[in-house]
Amino acid sequence: MLLAETARSFRHQRPAWKDFLAQLHFIGVKSQSVVITTGAATGMVLCAQTYLQFHKVKMDTATGAVVSIGMSSELGPVLAALMLTARVGASMTAELGTMKVTEQIDALRALAAHPVDTLVVPRFLALLASAPLLTAESVVVGIFSSKLVGVHLLGIDSAYYQANMERYTDPPDVMTGLIKSFVFAAIIAVVGCHKGLTCQGGAEGVGRATTDAVVAASISILVVNFFLTLFLARMFNG
Amino acid sequence: MIEVRDVTKSFGSQQVLRGVSLDIRRGEAVVIIGRSGGGKSILLKHLIGLLQPDSGIVRVAGEDLARMDERSLLRVRRKFGMLFQMAALFDSLTVDENVGFVLRREGVEPEAEIRRRIGEALDVVELPGIGHKMPSELSGGMRKRVGLARAIVYRPEIFLYDEPTTGLDPIAADNIDRLIRRVWETLHVTSIAVTHDMKSARTISNRILMLHEGRIYSEGPTSDILGSSDPVIHRFVNGISTPQKPE
């Protein structure tokens, strides 16, 4: 229902661009350190684990391809989304929940402003705009850091590492990750805002709503990811 | 101007309003009194469509709020200005941004006009020059006065006050009462307040409605209600608790 009301909002009200830019800064700029660290750590550990197994069957140089495909289509978008859920989704719920229990949402409505137009739409748009870029950033950093580990620490030949990575990573792998990041962004925004706007009680209610939002969004992302993987694989591979 | 007929409202198993009916005419200054937790604030929120009744009719200027969706209600709410119990200022915005919220949202131009009207509203509530402050830097009384300025600035026809003096010291409470009275007299608006502060009720109303056990128990001119000999009204107005029966 909140998603439908958000869509209806575009017909009734122009988005508040000032609020959108403020949210873009909070979500897009200030989440970078979190997603970069996540991408780098994931890329490095995935490279090490893959190498350790592939080394047993003399397939060391395929490591780069596995890391690249894994990061682009699965781990990059999912882990970036989970980090955004923890950082941005929780913050949205806590902020809107506090506004709800202190009657600021009612004040907004009394001032003839629709909470969806004023509060949800700027956050929804900022997440849709930021999540694919943050995911791409996380994937690039993950691949780069995996190459550093693979080549300089584990001794994989740099030229083969790069060549296999480029040979096996197709545009659909990258597109899969980016499409997933859009869907995950919508899940984080809708769940985070919905839990905040329907929050009940005082400080305890805000805490409970925040926890619920993080759990619900995280599980939704993991479940939706499975179905998206099957759907997008069929779409891109015919 | 406002017509309420047989409104009921329950939260879970608790029925708060049990068939409230009342009429408020344009230009009146009405106070709804009643015990804490008796549903006064709930009733006030029905008048502006912040809550929808389980049954009954709430009509404002001929429009039935109970049959309207949230977007249609926005148009009706533009007639109202509301002061909330804890002021409900937007805590991420400055005083200036709070007071000018509606003007900026409606695209009033130029910015100098918005600034002039914000300054004027802050002058009315006797808080000039605090536009740069954040709500967290203000006392309870100042927050309520900023809340009043936020309601005044876009010149609504009907003012709603939810417990305007709760939590204030006697001087600050008297200050708010005088402001509410002045707004009613100078802007010629309809004023509706809920309170259990009898001194406040005497100052800001010319008619009182008493809400008791989920219904309007009595109504009449302020002096009549405050001087009533009806035992329920008399006990409430004079703060006399029901005597305990000996075991």
Q: What is the dihedral of CA B231, B232, B234, B237, to 10 degrees?
A: 170
Do the chains contact at B84 and A107, CB–CB below 8 Å? yes
* Strand partners for B9: B17
Do the chains contact at B70 and A112, CB–CB below 8 Å? no
* Strand partners for B159: B81, B191
> How much is the pLDDT for B246?
63
Residue B18, classed as helix, strand or coil, is strand
Selected residue of A8, A11, A111 to mutate for chain B interface (largest B Cβ count, 10 A):
A111
Chain B: closest CA distance from residue A43 (Å) = 38
Do the chains contact at B90 and A108, CB–CB below 8 Å? yes
> How much is the pLDDT for A2?
79
- Listed by start position, the domains of chain A span 15-237
Angle B74-B78-B83 (CA atoms, 0-180°, nearest 5)? Answer: 105
Residues in chain A predicted with pLDDT less than 70, given as ranges, are 238
Do the chains contact at A110 and B91, CB–CB below 8 Å? no
The closest CB to that of A112, out of B78, B89, B90, belongs to: B78
The closest CB to that of A106, out of B70, B84, B101, belongs to: B84
The amino acid at B231: P
Distance separating alpha carbons of residues A181 and A224, to the nearest angstrom = 11
Angle B173-A108-B38 (CA atoms, 0-180°, nearest 5)? Answer: 50
Do the chains contact at B89 and A103, CB–CB below 8 Å? no
Considering only residues 147 to 176 of chain B, which have any Cβ-Cβ distance to chain A shorter than 8 Å? Answer: 150, 160
A42 Cβ contact partners less than 8 Å away, ≥ 6 residues apart:
A71, A75, A76, A79, A138, A142
Structure tokens, A179 = 């499409």
The closest CB to that of A114, out of B70, B84, B102, belongs to: B70
Residues in chain B predicted with pLDDT less than 50, given as ranges, are none
The closest CB to that of A110, out of B48, B89, B105, belongs to: B48
Nearest in space to B150 (alpha carbons), one of A107, A101, A103: A107
Question: Which residues in B lie closer than 8 A to residue A111 (C-beta atoms)?
Answer: 77, 101-102, 105, 150
Chain B: closest CA distance from residue A5 (Å) = 10
> How much is the pLDDT for A201?
86
> How much is the pLDDT for A12?
73
Distance separating alpha carbons of residues B162 and A24, to the nearest angstrom = 36
- The predicted complex's ipTM stands at 0.90
A·B CB contacts under 8 A: 55
> How much is the pLDDT for A138?
96
